[in-house]
Amino acid sequence: MNRNWLRSHQRSGRINGTFTARSADAGYLFGVDVEGLWEERAKHPHHDPEAVAAAYVIEEVGRLACSLSLFEGAQLQDRSNRLLGKPVTLPHHTLRVIWATVHVRAEASDISDLVEMQRRRASAKRADDEMRIRIERITAFRDSLRDDPTLALAQMLLETPGAVSPETLDTMQSVAMYMASSAPGAEVAIAQLLKAFVEDMKPDAKQYIVERLCEVLVEFGGGDAANQISALSAQGLHLIPARPADPETNAAGRLPDS
């Protein structure tokens, strides 16, 4: 192949343009500016060699971009320029891309949207984790209350010692029996047991017992029972009369005059 043939069949040109590349974040695109140089030696040259060279650059940058987040524009730019900075002969063509360099950018509004989206996702994940932990605790308390009331008693003693009295064990065993029963009116019996149980308890201890049992009932699908217990709590547990005085004594605690 003589020099005259090379000169007559060789041409070169520049690659210049702007395009977008899909990022790993669905719906968000990198903006890419490119410049470079191509060269062709062919007896029958391509009609639009610049388009062929540009298509190669777009394809290679797009291949790299789809695995990177929009936050990783600098990595995309470095990887692309490392790949495109050396000559390559394109398959099935007589065209060579001598070099190309790209500048990658991302819209500030897109970055802001992604930051907010990540915050929402993180918040939702925290809420899901908290709900999962709460459900696990409720489930464990329910199971222990149903299977071994003394275990539930131990848990209550650790968490809120003030809510436990000597009568707690017997009452929790009775409540567990009613919870396991599907007989109509069981929720009323539970409410009556609770009322008897909490008569001498402090208001905060009363409220704790009611809330925990309502959570367990809701977990079992007993929303109506939980509502009835809550209603009884609101209407009666804080208005429970003091335990009647011994008939042998008067209000002052003295024996009546004979």
pLDDT of residue 112: 92
What band does 224 get if pLDDT is binned at 50, 70 and 90? confident
User: Please, which pLDDT band fits residue 135 given cuts at 50, 70 and 90?
Assistant: confident
Q: Rounded mean pLDDT of 52-78?
A: 94
pTM of the complete model beyond 0.75: no
Distance CA 181, CA 221 (A): 13
Domains of the chain by start residue, with CATH: 3-107 (3.30.479.30), 129-239 (no CATH)
Q: Tell me: pLDDT of 243 over 60.
A: no
18 membership: H or E segment, kind and range: strand 10-22
- What is the predicted pLDDT for the residue at 25? 93
Q: Which residues pair with 31 in a beta bridge?
A: 20, 105
pLDDT at 40: 84
pLDDT above 70 covers a percentage of the chain that reads: 62
By residue count, the chain amounts to 258
DSSP string, 39-107: EEE-SS--S-HHHHHHHHHHHHHHHHHTTS-GGGHHHHHHHHHHHHTS-EEPTTSSEEEEEEEEEEE--
The two three-digit tokens of residue 253, written as one number: 């605690």
Looking at residue 89, its pLDDT comes to 87
Greatest CA separation for the chain: 143
Q: How far apart are CA 38 and CA 47, in angstroms?
A: 14
Q: How confident is the model at residue 18 (pLDDT cuts 50, 70, 90)?
A: very high
